[in-house]
Amino acid sequence: MDIATLTGGVITALGLHTSGALTNNEEFFEQVLEASYESGEPIWRLPLFERDIERVRGSKIADLNNSPGAEGHAIMGGAFIGEFAEGTPWVHLDIAGTATTSKEHDLAHQAPPASWPAHWHCWLKGLKQEIKNKSSLVTPKP
């Protein structure tokens, strides 16, 4: 997982109250989305198509192009970071809009996103339960 105030494009697309997400793994994204529901910090999944990945890979002078054009800027930024996941289940959150300190917010008045710790607490709590459930299926209890 990576979290970044990466692009102004996500603010243009989603405003100041919703973070953009990209992923290469549906199950991992569903866990992060569930945590966003629990914490009240909304995220919206942006599309990540093979053509977007190819645009990032399409540099004539480098291995990757971190800015292959203005269109789809939030998607291109996430696609660039996704290249470093190298097959590892990955979710990217662009929090450029939700990390803004000059906005009103139910959980954080004129301050950095106080709700993000709540979001990660919810996600980690769910992950801990999932690991516990899987462990109880594999490890016999005395």
β-sheet bridge partners, residue 20: 44, 94
- pLDDT greater than 80 at residue 132: no
Pairing status of strand 91-94 against strand 2-4: parallel
Distance CA 116, CA 130 (A): 21
Query: Residue 84 in 3-state DSSP?
Result: coil
- pLDDT greater than 90 at residue 8: no
Q: pLDDT category, 101, cuts 50, 70, 90?
A: low
pTM, two decimals, is 0.75
| Range 69-94 burial, b when 16+ CB lie within 10 A, else e | eeebbbbbbbbbbbeebeeeebbbbb
- pLDDT greater than 50 at residue 1: yes
CATH architecture of the region 2-138 = 3-Layer(aba) Sandwich (3.40)
CA 86 → CA 12, 16, 24, 81, 91, distances in Å? 29, 30, 10, 10, 12
pLDDT of residue 7: 86
pLDDT of residue 120: 66
pLDDT of residue 40: 81
pLDDT of residue 108: 46
Q: pLDDT category, 27, cuts 50, 70, 90?
A: very high
pLDDT of residue 5: 86
- pLDDT greater than 80 at residue 44: yes
DSSP class of 44: E
- pLDDT greater than 70 at residue 47: yes
